[in-house]
Amino acid sequence: MRKLPLHRRTLLAAALAVGFAAPAFAAPQINTPAPAFRQLDQDGKPRSLADFRGKTVVLEWTSAACPYSHKHYDSGNMQRLQAKARKQGVVWLTIITDAPGTSGYMDAAQVRAWMKKEHSHATAVLLDSDARVARAYEAKTTPHMFIIDKAGRLVYMGGIDDRPFTDPASLKGAKNYVALALADLKAGRPIAEPVTRPYGCSVKYGP
Amino acid sequence: MMRWLAALLAFLALAGAAYAQPVNTGHLTAELVPQAQGIAPGQTIYVALRQQMLPGWHTYWRNPGDSGQPTEIKWALPDGWRAGDIVWPTPVRIPVGPLVNYGYEGQVLLPVAITAPADARVGQTATLSADAAFLVCREECVPEDAKLNLSLPITSGPAPADPRWGALIGKTLAEAPKPAGLTAAFEKRGPDVVLAVAGAPLKGAADVGAYFYPFDSTVIDHGKPQVAERGPDGLTLTVTPGYAFQGGAAPKAIAGVLALDGKAYELTAAPGPPPAGTSGLGPPAAKGSPGAGAGGPSLGLISAAAFAFVGGLILNLMPCVFPVLAMKAASLAAHGGGEERRARTHGLAFGAGVLATFLILAAVLIGLKAAGAAIGWGFQLQSPPVVAVLALLMLAVALDLSGVFEVGTSLQGVGSGLAARQGLAGDVFTGALAVVVAAPCTAPFMGAAIGWALTQPPAAALAVFVALAIGFALPFVAVTFWPGLLARLPRPGPWMDVFRKVLAFPMYGAAAWLVWVLTLQAGAPALARILAAAIVLALAAWLAGLAQKRAAAGARPLATGFAAGLLAAAALVAVVWPAYGQAQAAPGVETAHATAEPYSPERLAALRAQGKPVFVDYTAAWCVSCQVNDRVVLSTRPVVDAIHKYDVAYLTADWTRRDPAIAADLARFGRAGVPLYLVYGADGGKPAILPAILTQGMVIKALQAASKAR
């Protein structure tokens, strides 16, 4: 039975027919190499994690249709954090995973307009509607924050702060885990709280 | 006068019962509803926040799961009044893509204990106010809030139940999770966390759909399935750890609600080994633990049936089936010319045998699946006694083909005098035999179809199995129905005897292969046992042949026949009883790849985190397609070279013995059995799924693509 009496093309067709790709989850682990990714940004430029070796990278999941993201953008909280991080040489990638057909989905032109409107200070916004990056990081919520250090290790994952509410008043006195983690990194200290609970709307994965 | 007025007011309030105004907040209607028509000074009654959601919308439990926010109530009560915490009813799981939320759909009552002060004035009406804030979600989420009021008369004694809500609040309270003196412990075991629970309420309980809802959202990964195993005094759930276990940390305790078919208990698990009696009895006899979250790929009934049909057709060509069917077809040719009617009867009898056997297998499979067993197609071959019996069966068929003895109607017409009835029974038997030996050869198409079928209600699942049976039986039945085809089969002659004896050898091969599988499963002692049994069976076959020859010569060789039967029975018993031990080493399907590593979800995650492309080979020793692929494609020089060249990590997921983690993976990709080949690209995206039958070119191309994806 060396060769099965089946035409190869038939087999390939079968493979296509049967080969549904289902999500394969493998949770990212803190203090291990961050999952690699490659995705297009708002200008159609491919961005991959490897491009930023030697720099600290922040990943921020957001959705224009999510009240939790709105709390941080409408108040300017997220933009301030972005600007401060960028000033320190940190690469900030905002990631929009909302699948086509969901209310937060945006095409490249819409993302560019959104960045302008929100005065985003992100290095780039990744158009992740096929959820490639989200699945690699098991992103659960908007916002959901990750920090990758200069060596490419995942050093922070979790919420943006300790106030899992939509009310803008909750920002007052909030403990911003991302700001604290970036400060720890800058000072060469171990990150005090490297894993926290992410909160927000669910990431809108496509079917 | 004042007193009279107060009494009148109280009466009016009672007449209208306690009074509340529902508020529509956009996606739900909220109101405060009381358990009783009034409250006595010092008494505690329950007042519930009632939420009536629009269809498709939900609010959240105290732990909302992967996203969301629990409902909050801020009370504004008259002086001296006290409100307790929300009594959270057991939530439901609400999958959102690969994520899972815990919450409520339709209507929910969230009861809160309200205590009136001892000096509350009888006859007055207290106004209870609450600011309720909640996130209400469908796909998108809307934060809404409502200012709610409830007017509650203060009565001299406990007031009668509220006619509208009293009973429902009572039921909600009765059904809410409560501590039940359960002993629970958790322990990290490999990539999983094992949560074991023991206690009187679980003893012999119908553990239907056991599921653990943690209070803290970081202790488990809500989107992953929970695998349950029963024990005499409790049960064990294998869950995927959440963020709290990251970086080698572990929580000091895991508290939450264990839900079991309508009942729910609060528990707190301490770190440590499982309490006694929480495992060992297999999966619960129930609907299993519904793996919410990443739903398998969907396949409609029609396409699943079509795949099954084509899969059945292809099954005919598999190495373990072909000899049986080829001989049968050749014997049919003997019926050629003028005997078409009889040929058809034979064909139909064969078809009936195939159909019946598939349905029996399907019923067993569906039944076990319903019992929550993490099994799939080919499951029969995970049990050493079944493998041993099959090995003997293959040997018996081979000995028959070699001419040592004859079964049923002789293929050469020696027994043409035998009754047609006996011939038909032989056909049915051939059909059954063909199905039994075909099980390990999961043909392409079939994997997806059966995988789909097992997730469906029994009727749809049976339909798929029927399609499979029809596809499997069709070529043979068609031959019997198409006189033209029959005529085209070679004429019977002496060549048939040669052909038959040649075909005996693939069957010997099949028997040898099953012995190898058995050795992997049960170790060297099993090898001695099966070989001894094989020799006894061969002796029995020879004696049977001797008896048949003497009978043909007119003698009545009762003793010889009896001895043959006795020996065969002895061989059979010897391989089934006593129970087999387990192999010492890991079962390990050997692969020729120096770089192959055993699969674990953790290892896969680590490799992917390093940005390495990964090839995962889901295989089993008893899976012929897997072994063929391994020998003909995966272990060949060009493929091994490509694995090195593209720096692909090769992981072997061995399903020779039962493994819930692998079964869960297969289910996630919509498969019920092996083989399954996944190629994860270096870019961390979805894996490519290779077909069930591989070619070198296809694999090399996939490896190349995976490394390029960087």
The pLDDT, as a whole number, for residue A121 is: 96
Neighbours of B407 (CB within 10 A): 19
Helix axis angle, B322-333 to B340-370, nearest 10°:
160
Residues of chain B found within 8 Å of residue A5, distances taken between Cβ atoms: 317
Residue of B nearest to A168 (CA): B143
Measure Cα distances from B465 to B306, B373, B449 in Å: 11, 19, 9
Contact yes or no for B668 and A24 at CB 8 A? yes
How far apart (Å, rounded) are the C-alpha atoms in residues B244 and B257? Answer: 18
SS3 B94: strand
The pLDDT, as a whole number, for residue B359 is: 86
Which DSSP letter does residue B56 get? T
Kind plus residue range of the DSSP H or E element containing B393? helix B384-401
The pLDDT, as a whole number, for residue B1 is: 47
Instruction: Report the Cα–Cα distance between both ends of chain B, in Å, rounded.
Output: 88
Asked whether the beta carbons of B229 and B236 are under 8 A apart, the reply is yes
Q: Nearest CA of chain A to the CA of B247: how many Å?
A: 6
pLDDT band at A19 (very low <50, low <70, confident <90, very high): very low
Residues of chain A found within 8 Å of residue B605, distances taken between Cβ atoms: 26-29
Asked whether the beta carbons of B501 and B386 are under 8 A apart, the reply is no
The pLDDT, as a whole number, for residue B391 is: 84
Which DSSP letter does residue A169 get? G
- Token output for A64: 């224009």
How far apart (Å, rounded) are the C-alpha atoms in residues B498 and B429? Answer: 23
Q: Is B246 on the interface with A (CB under 8 A)?
A: yes
Residues of chain B found within 8 Å of residue A200, distances taken between Cβ atoms: 67
Neighbours of B413 (CB within 10 A): 13
From the list B96, B221, B448, the residue facing A202 with the nearest CB is: B96
- Token output for B448: 């997806």
Q: How many CB pairs under 8 A join A and B?
A: 199
**DSSP codes of every residue in B502-523:** HHHHHHHHHHHHHHHHHHHHH-
With b for 16 or more beta-carbon neighbours within 10 A and e for fewer, the B672-699 pattern comes to bbbbbbbbbbbbbbbbbbbbbbbbeebb
How far apart (Å, rounded) are the C-alpha atoms in residues B498 and B296? Answer: 49
Domain spans, chain A? 53-202
Residue of A2, A10, A25 for testing the chain B interface, max B β-carbons within 10 Å:
A25
From the list A19, A35, A65, the residue facing B608 with the nearest CB is: A35
Phi, psi (deg, nearest 5) at residue B265: -130, 140
Token pair 């203090």: residue: A31
Q: Is B94 on the interface with A (CB under 8 A)?
A: no
How far apart (Å, rounded) are the C-alpha atoms in residues B217 and B645? Answer: 43
The pLDDT, as a whole number, for residue B285 is: 43
Neighbours of A58 (CB within 10 A): 23
Measure Cα distances from A39 to A25, A109, B593 in Å: 18, 16, 33
How far apart (Å, rounded) are the C-alpha atoms in residues B473 and B419? Answer: 24
Token pair 């020998």: residue: B631
The pLDDT, as a whole number, for residue B294 is: 30
Instruction: Go through the domains of chain B in sequence order and give each one's CATH number.
Output: 2-175 (2.60.40.1250), 179-271 (2.60.40), 301-384+408-504 (no CATH), 597-708 (3.40.30.10)
- pLDDT, tens digit, for every residue of A97-112? 999 988 899 999 999 9
How far apart (Å, rounded) are the C-alpha atoms in residues A136 and A154? Answer: 12
Contact yes or no for B669 and A22 at CB 8 A? yes
CATH class for the domain made up of A53-202: alpha beta
Instruction: Please give the ipTM for the structure prediction.
Output: 0.80
Asked whether the beta carbons of B198 and B209 are under 8 A apart, the reply is no
Contact yes or no for B444 and A18 at CB 8 A? yes
The pLDDT, as a whole number, for residue B489 is: 62
| Helix residue ranges per DSSP H, B594-659 | 601-609, 624-629, 637-645
Residues of chain B found within 8 Å of residue A164, distances taken between Cβ atoms: 69
Q: What residues are paired with B134 via a beta bridge?
A: B144
Contact yes or no for B67 and A8 at CB 8 A? no
Q: What residues are paired with B269 via a beta bridge?
A: B184, B254
**DSSP codes of every residue in B263-302:** EEEEEEEEESSPPTTSSSS-S-SSS-----SSPPPP--HH
How far apart (Å, rounded) are the C-alpha atoms in residues B392 and B400? Answer: 12
How far apart (Å, rounded) are the C-alpha atoms in residues B564 and B541? Answer: 7
Distance of CA B620 to the CA centre of its chain: 18
Give a three-class secondary structure readout of B101-162: EEEEECEEEEEEEEECCCCCCCCCEEEEEEEEEEEEECCCEEEEEEEEEEEEEECCCCCCEC
With b for 16 or more beta-carbon neighbours within 10 A and e for fewer, the A166-204 pattern comes to beeeebeeeebbbbebbebbeeeeebeebbbbbbbbbbb
Contact yes or no for A25 and B686 at CB 8 A? no
Contact yes or no for B139 and A195 at CB 8 A? no
Residues of chain B found within 8 Å of residue A103, distances taken between Cβ atoms: 139-140
Nearest to B646 by CA among B687, B615, B625: B615
Q: Per the omega criterion (within 30 degrees of 0), is the bond before B557 cis? A: no
Q: Give the contacts of B205 (CB within 8 A, at least 6 positions apart).
A: B260, B263
B288: left (phi over 0), alpha (psi -120 to 50) or beta: left
Measure Cα distances from A78 to A122, A183, B64 in Å: 10, 16, 24
Nearest to B404 by CA among B508, B330, B301: B508
- pLDDT, tens digit, for every residue of B229-245? 877 788 888 898 998 88
Contact yes or no for A195 and B604 at CB 8 A? no
Across the 710 residues of chain B, what is the mean pLDDT of every consecutive 10-residue run? 50 50 86 93 94 90 91 94 94 86 93 94 92 87 89 91 90 91 88 88 69 92 84 85 85 91 88 82 45 39 78 71 69 59 80 87 74 55 77 83 66 35 70 72 57 68 84 83 67 70 80 81 82 91 86 78 85 78 50 69 83 88 74 84 87 81 78 83 82 84 79
Length of chain B: 710
**Beta pairing, strands B92-96 & B99-105:** antiparallel
Distance of CA B235 to the CA centre of its chain: 18
Residues of chain A found within 8 Å of residue B601, distances taken between Cβ atoms: 26
Residue of B nearest to A19 (CA): B689
Helix axis angle, B322-333 to B494-522, nearest 10°:
160
The pLDDT, as a whole number, for residue B311 is: 76
Tell which B residues from 333 to 372 touch A, by Cβ distance under 8 Å.
none
Q: Is B192 on the interface with A (CB under 8 A)?
A: no
